[in-house]
Amino acid sequence: MADTGLANASPGSSSALAPGQDPHAMQGARQNLLEVAIGREVRAFRNKLGITGSDLATATGLSLGMLSKIENGLTSPSLTTLQSLSRALGVPVTAFFRRYEERRDAVFVKAGQGLSIERRGTRNGHHYHLLGHSGDRSSRVVVEPYLITLTKESDVFPLFQHAGLEFLYMLEGEVVYRHADKLYPMSPGDSLFFDSDAPHGPEEMIVLPIRFLSIISYPRDDE
């Protein structure tokens, strides 16, 4: 029987590793991310011009199948191919790498930490802890995740109003939450998603303490 080379692989060789342990896997994944980013940009520029895949394939001398692979991130286009695409689409070659090179931030908050924030309900004994934020001014949407705690010192305050959308997820306790003219009894595991421009807030606190996640999103004001 032919020797496949797998049975005799040494424990330290990459062929003996599970796929998730392959030291080359991260490099391959990063390469794939670049291909996907390029493909998305090519498709976006093509759609912006209002031309079909066939039109772009003809203009660049590529086959429609190859163009499809590029747009779907299934192949890594050569520099010559990228130059052809840039001329046909009227954009610099560097434009295809724009999203790949954009900085992507993450915010990690340990349990029990988070920035204590004063919002409208703070004076009513509502404790806000900001769990993350984004400093990316290029985003058109602001997202603010909060951990909100209500105790026996907290007041009911069903009159919050602000622009955007809000998502609540109950973690502890029980509360009757008002949104506009409707009441929602909420206990751990319940969630509520609503237009936050309507009056909203805790109408009745049933079981204390109450803790819930509040994720607020609204358009960024660039003025």
C-alpha 148/C-alpha 167 separation (Å) is: 12
For the chain, how many helices (H) and strands (E)?
5, 7
C-alpha 185/C-alpha 44 separation (Å) is: 45
Mean pLDDT score, 202-212: 96
Q: Which of 73-77, 81-85, 86-90, 128-132 shows the lowest per-residue confidence on average (mean pLDDT)?
A: 128-132
Contacts of 52 (CB under 8 A, 6+ apart): none
How high is the pLDDT of residue 8?
Answer: 40
Question: Is the predicted pLDDT of residue 177 greater than 50, yes or no?
Answer: yes
Query: What are the structure tokens assigned to 53, written together?
Result: 């895949």
- Exposure on the CB side of residue 54, measured as CA atoms within 13 A: 0
Interstrand relation of 182-186 and 126-130 (parallel, antiparallel or unpaired)? unpaired
How high is the pLDDT of residue 7?
Answer: 39
- Exposure on the CB side of residue 100, measured as CA atoms within 13 A: 18
The SS3 call for residue 126 is: strand
Q: Which of 3-7, 111-115, 120-124, 169-173 shows the lowest per-residue confidence on average (mean pLDDT)?
A: 3-7
Q: Which residue has the higher pLDDT, 68 or 136?
A: 68
C-alpha 57/C-alpha 51 separation (Å) is: 10
For the segment 7-54, what is each residue's pLDDT rounded down to a tens digit? 344 444 444 444 444 444 444 445 578 899 899 999 999 999 999 999
Mean pLDDT score, 112-132: 70
pLDDT grade, residue 120 (50/70/90)? low
How high is the pLDDT of residue 12?
Answer: 43
